[in-house]
Structure 1
Amino acid sequence: SYFSGESGAGKTESTKLLLQFITAISGGESNVGRRILDSNPIMEAFGNAKTLRNDNSSRFGKYVDIHFDRKSGRIVSARIEQYLLEKSRIVRQAIGERNFHAFYCMLAGMPSHDKQRLGLRDSRCYNYLCQDSESLVDSPNDAANFETIVSTMRHLEFTDNEIEEIWNLLAALLHLGNISFCEDLHECTDASKVKDTHRSELAYASNLLGMGHICLEKAMTTKRIQTAGECVVAQFLPSNASTVRDAFVKTIYDHLFRWIVEKINEAIYKAPFKEGNRVGDRHTSEHWGSSSGSSSSGFFTRSNTWPNSPNSQPSPTTSNITSNTGFSSTESGVDFYLNTHSSAAENGRLSIGVLDIFGFENFSSNSFEQLCINYANENIQQYFVRHIFKLEQDEYLAEGINWTHINFRDNQDVLDLIAHQPLNVLALVDEESRFPKGSDISFLSKLNARHGETNNYIRALSTVETRFGIVHFAGPVYYNVEGFLEKNRDTFNHDLLDVINKSNNDFLRKLFEKRLHLSENRPRSLTLGMQFKKSLERLMSIINSCHPFFVRCIKPNEFKLPNCFDRTLCARQLRYAGMMETIQIRS
């Protein structure tokens, strides 16, 4: 089941209702089902944030694959895949927006003695949390949400030590964000160092990260370069050091978020086992934990290789959800009507997949993050168009059915512009990011020169304007290029990886375990745009292997008000989502 719609349309809440419904109808006593629901407050705390359009906006994509016993219909296992975390939000937010909820919950709900131990103060004291006066609004629920996060972590078998280490890392990131750099001289070369007034922040950060403050400062202000068999140390200017610091913080948070998701998976995933010539499930009455979504359903089964499953175990049979057909409530849980499906169900579990991903965004000022988010939404829209219009009309032709051709908008040309055709937008951002003297303005100049006459591209009206536009399926969006290259470079100084490797913080080293085992001949790091594109390709490959059902969420008004229905706004969303054409082809 694929939930789509504008930011703030209710995708995440609808997903939670759907998961509650699936859990209840498949046997409400399932500990696995309750644990799936318990994962929501944790993932929302670390992956959601307040934006201008939505007080609880998902800043990542979540695909939940729920596995059912093919005989009883009960939930026996599940796995969560996360995609495309907006990690740039850690260090920078738009005016009026907040960082991820977890930071505010920690500062509002953590006991005072723990905050004192971590050197924590009010949220207004941290650069990463108060970049403008409009973002300083604390939620009245932050303190209560802290207790919920901790309790659900315990339900999902996070140890007290792991929970403590998570908060320690968040505190370290806040201290790192308060470190500023000033100019310095090193052997007659321009260099940088931590400002004397920020030495206490450096001390807190280095202590919590388990590394010496001198080593940490050196890793943020210098870079070792291997040339012709010798090592040369390059000095960073203050602006470069700040960029390295921010990349360090983003990388740590990204690894922490991945670890949290995998920790949740350890509590909800059970590998099937082989008994004779069949794949079965152990009894589900084992020590599983707790929690709670509504909407539609319909099933399609197939043989599938479940990605990243431990030890390459036999995979579940997959399905996706929408509409009220396909199962009914019975005493034994979900009735899947197995006789209507292929024999693939005999070789594995049945599975329902639910995708919740950030919605289309168009603000007064849009940056690189919005370009990536809207590119993801263009991919989901193309998938919808292919299944609802292209494949359905092809089937009419194949079966010789008399029908009237339905005109629909194919957004493939927009996908080509952003990421597929030669010298596309993401490729040009990448190219310019790799030039030491590349700038946002030079990128915009190349973009205008290459795509000025391209359909769906809107060039800047003057040479002093720093915006370009793209006509998306949901309408035109103008992007301000200021900060594009800095965000895309996502510079991670490998000297920082060495510092992590030498850290006495076991938890931090565990987060980077796979990365630390890379060979010394490290490939050049992918830019943020390429990371995003690869992650999206991985998501789409999973989606393309499933039979889809689509849930369109419609935002009733722009002001987050109850009982307020804006007919013009709703009609616009229905039009660009292709609902009018969908009604025609299905009627």
Structure 2
Amino acid sequence: LYTAEVKAAYRGPLPSSLPPHLYSVGERARRGVWSCNKDQLILLSGESGSGKTEASRLLLHFLTASPAAESPYSVPLHAAHTVLQAFGNAKTRRNDNASRFAKYLDLELDHRGDAIGGSLTCYLLQKNRVSEQSPGERNFHFFYQLLAGADPHTLKCLRLQRSVDHYSILRASRASAADSADDRTHFADTKHALEVLELDAGEQQAVLCVVAAVLKLSNISFAPVNNIDGTEGCALQSEYELREACSLLQCSPDVLSAALRTRSSTVTPAGGGGGSDVESVATELSAEQASRARDLLCQALYARLFAWIINKINIAIKVEGNGRRKVLGLLDVFGFETLDKNGFSQLLINYTTERLAQVTREVTVQQRQEEYMREGLDWSYIDPCSDLLSLQ
């Protein structure tokens, strides 16, 4: 279905004899950029597991292939896709490679319609997955890739054990032998993709250190203690995990320990005039509150790492120089899901999916209504559904 011969058949004017194909969508969008002199957008929508991410990959291969040869700009674009899957996708009960974020790629085309670069924007990373997953699901792929694929020397430098059972945010998902073999292969693919995106050895090591630090931090636990004044505090357990995480992050164990176990607030003494009179007061957290602070720190670290990777991707795929060019957008979003436990982040995901589905319906209905008008047919206007969430 997706051979070079099929690609060639769907490039250029599309004869009516050709059957419907994903490539025909890409070619119509590409030709529409210049024939209509308008930027175009391909919106991929559907339920979770319906194949949106794979369709995005196939479209990217088609749109970055020129009739003569593969475009040199396609290499970093495909590498970016590999890296995004490693750091932004995870196994769910419905899909072994589910996107846990939404991405929009602006693919810039030259006067011939060939891809010459682009820019990437990502939204709604499901960062709470770092700390918790539903039964039968996994964390983000790269955690498992690192443990399965890194050589013993790398694991030793990162102070990591090979087995996922050593890490609280991974042990809930039992990996089969087939999963481990796939993770080893995918780790090599991800590492090569990072090299293609021109991350040097130091930057790649920094990525591994942050991921390893998240694994270490997730193992920190807290025991409840009763303070003299009757309030509940907590004591840090597994201190060696904290020290190893701090070594990876190059920060002070004492500072991080205090940040996890206490909450700082500023107060102005009675009668104080502000300014230098403001004091900082530390309040001890309970064991439950400290655990929550630990989880939020892990999520924030991973989200910042993901954002940094997106920035490096954009540097690698940006268009050099000036010139007349148009944009073909490719939007790949989550599928609608109902989980055992649905939080605010899931609400945002499902709401976004519904809004985009509504856009698709509105465009389809509008096109059909315009066709009715051209044909002179009698028809009744269809009012759009009221959008309660948007209060429209």
Q: Does 1:380 align with 2:356?
A: yes
Q: How far 1:131 moved relative to its partner?
A: 2.7
Question: Taking structure 1 as reference, are residues 405 and 134 closer, same or farther at Cα in structure 2, changes over 3 Å only?
Answer: farther
Alignment partner of 2:84 out of 19, 43, 66: 43
2:280 is aligned to 231
Q: Name the aligned partner's letter for residue 190 of structure 1.
A: E
1:473 is aligned to none
The 8 Å contact of residues 372 and 379 in structure 2, kept in 1 or not, is answered as no
**Structure-1 separation of matches of 2:177 and 2:239:** 25
**Structure-2 separation of matches of 1:136 and 1:224:** 47
**Structure-2 separation of matches of 1:181 and 1:135:** 31
2:43 is aligned to 2
**Structure-2 separation of matches of 1:411 and 1:222:** 49
**Structure-2 separation of matches of 1:411 and 1:241:** 45
Q: Does 1:421 align with 2:391?
A: yes
Alignment partner of 1:192 out of 226, 234, 247: 234
1:262 is aligned to 311
Mapping of residues 274-423 of structure 1, within 5 Å: 280=323, 348-363=324-339, 366-390=342-366, 392-393=368-369, 401-405=376-380, 410-413=384-387, 416=388, 419-421=389-391
The 8 Å contact of residues 63 and 114 in structure 2, kept in 1 or not, is answered as no
**Structure-2 separation of matches of 1:37 and 1:46:** 15
2:5 is aligned to none
Alignment partner of 2:122 out of 77, 82, 90: 82
Q: How far 1:269 moved relative to its partner?
A: 0.3
Q: Name the aligned partner's letter for residue 420 of structure 1.
A: S
Q: Provide the secondary structure at the position in 2 that maps to 1:174.
A: helix
Question: Taking structure 1 as reference, are residues 132 and 166 closer, same or farther at Cα in structure 2, changes over 3 Å only?
Answer: closer
**Which segment drifts farther, 385-394 or 105-114?**
385-394
Q: Provide the secondary structure at the position in 2 that maps to 1:141.
A: helix
Q: Provide the secondary structure at the position in 2 that maps to 1:81.
A: strand
1:58 is aligned to 99
Mapping of residues 134-153 of structure 1, within 5 Å: 138-153=179-194
Q: How far 1:138 moved relative to its partner?
A: 3.6
**Structure-1 separation of matches of 2:141 and 2:130:** 11
**Structure-2 separation of matches of 1:390 and 1:234:** 59
Q: Name the aligned partner's letter for residue 379 of structure 2.
A: T
**Structure-1 separation of matches of 2:47 and 2:347:** 14
Offset from partner CA, 1:513-540 (integer Å, 9 cap, x none): xxxxxxxxxxxxxxxxxxxxxxxxxxxx
Offset from partner CA, 1:495-523 (integer Å, 9 cap, x none): xxxxxxxxxxxxxxxxxxxxxxxxxxxxx
Greater than 6 Å deviation, 4+ residue runs: 134-137
The 8 Å contact of residues 97 and 134 in structure 1, kept in 2 or not, is answered as no
Q: How far 1:28 moved relative to its partner?
A: 3.3
Q: TM-score, normalised on structure 1?
A: 0.55
The 8 Å contact of residues 225 and 232 in structure 1, kept in 2 or not, is answered as yes
Unaligned runs of 5+ in 1: 274-279, 281-347, 423-587
Q: Provide the secondary structure at the position in 1 that maps to 2:314.
A: helix
Q: Provide the secondary structure at the position in 1 that maps to 2:260.
A: helix
**Structure-1 separation of matches of 2:184 and 2:205:** 17
Unaligned runs of 5+ in 2: 1-41, 269-277
Identity %: 36
Q: TM-score, normalised on structure 2?
A: 0.81
RMSD of the alignment, in Å?
2.4
**Structure-2 separation of matches of 1:127 and 1:19:** 37
2:36 is aligned to none
**Structure-2 separation of matches of 1:373 and 1:384:** 17
Q: How far 1:402 moved relative to its partner?
A: 2.0
Offset from partner CA, 1:416-435 (integer Å, 9 cap, x none): 2xx3239xxxxxxxxxxxxx
**Structure-2 separation of matches of 1:18 and 1:67:** 14
**Structure-2 separation of matches of 1:152 and 1:364:** 35
Alignment partner of 2:149 out of 109, 132, 137: 109
The 8 Å contact of residues 38 and 152 in structure 1, kept in 2 or not, is answered as yes
The 8 Å contact of residues 95 and 134 in structure 1, kept in 2 or not, is answered as no
Offset from partner CA, 1:155-200 (integer Å, 9 cap, x none): 11011110111011100000100000112355634211212xx111
